Amino acid sequence: MDARRLLRHGRGWVAESLGLNNRARGRLDGTRAALLYYHRVVPRIIVERDSIESGMYVTPESFEQQLDWIDEHFRVLPLWEITERLADRRSLPERACAITFDDGWRDNHDYAVPALTRHDLPATIFVVTDRVGSEGAFWPDEVCRRLSALGVDEQRHIAMKLGAGPVASAIDGLLRHYKKMDEHQRNLALDDLRKLTDEPLDVGRELMDWHEIAEVARSGIDIESHAASHAILTGLPAEEVANELRRSRQSLRERGHGRRHLLAYPSGGHDEGVVDAARKAGYRAAVTIEHGLASTRDDLLALPRLCVHQGIAESRGEFLLKIPGSR
């Protein structure tokens, strides 16, 4: 166990021993809810083979354990029910919680949904409609895979050459740098990265197709919108934002999904204009990646969530320190 993991374990143990975790859960007093968000549930061998970004996954074993802890310590409701209660200013159950997934990964179908079914827990999966059933993943995955094939010094050299500046992690630095760009700038920057690195290995289809999504929906999971192309909406002209949101909603409704009128902003990107576009497109509530508990004080179209990943999954104390959050 490295020093950082040891420190996290220690903090979790202390917090649980002193009852801090239990007190933190007391913040979920009927006026707030913890909206958890995951991305991928992937075996460790695939994480290593495919260079999956840290912070983007939990292993199936960790996910199963987390569901045990969630089931024990929280009252899990469908996201739509929590948002309806917040909209009507109705009270929530104490320790109210919702489980969500972003992007529509194939491993959600293979690993996450069977575990949720075993625990009889509801969830919402936000899918990128233009990418359903397509090969490959998203541009951050490409960045990770291209740089992970290189040594640390070469990673840093390329990241600095591409404008990321001196950072501890070249991959994290380049991802942050690219996320600040608009879509046109980012596409040009990705072309520059491709000229400097080798093509990553083909890992096949990583996103669910419509047949798999239908299976997931039949198991009781809500399928909602993560926009059409996964473009960061704050980097698009207003008319393209509106098109992204309308097109995704229409595609889902044609297939019997999107019935709850919910949206997760791609990469969390939202501002006043994007929120207004979501409202005009007919979305009733939307979630961000801003850290926090959702309450009636929040705009229903800009609700905060709590990110869950492998880094907080390795002990009960660590997990309960982060959920519903020590802040």
Higher per-residue pLDDT: 133 or 17? 133
What was the pLDDT predicted at 82?
98
Number of domains in the chain: 2
41 with 97, same domain? yes
Residue spans of alpha helices (H) in the chain: 3-17, 20-25, 44-50, 60-73, 79-88, 106-107, 113-119, 139-148, 152-161, 170-179, 183-196, 210-218, 238-254, 272-280, 316-322
Q: Residue 23 falls within a domain, yes or no?
A: yes
How high is the pLDDT of residue 8? 63
Q: What is the pTM assigned to this prediction? A: 0.94
Domain housing 268: 3-134+205-322
CATH of the domain at 309: 3.20.20.370
Q: Phi/psi of residue 19, each to 5°?
A: 80, 15
Burial of residue 281, with CB atoms counted within 10 A of its CB: 0-12 exposed, 13-18 middle, 19 or more buried = buried
Shared domain check, 237 and 105: yes
Does 12 share its domain with 117? yes
Does residue 317 sit in the same domain as residue 213?
yes
Task: Evaluate if residue 316 carries a pLDDT over 90.
Answer: no
Q: What is the pLDDT of residue 269?
A: 96
Split at pLDDT 50, 70, 90, the class of 255 is: very high
Q: Are 190 and 228 found together in one domain?
A: no
Average pLDDT over residues 82-95: 96
CA 68 to chain centroid: 20
Q: What pLDDT is stored for residue 168 in this prediction?
A: 81
Dihedral over Cα of 70, 72, 74, 79: its sign: positive
Q: Tell me: do 212 and 292 sit in the same domain.
A: yes
Residue 9's pLDDT is 62
Is there a single domain that holds both residue 189 and residue 45?
no
Based on the fold, state whether residues 250 and 158 are members of the same structural domain: no
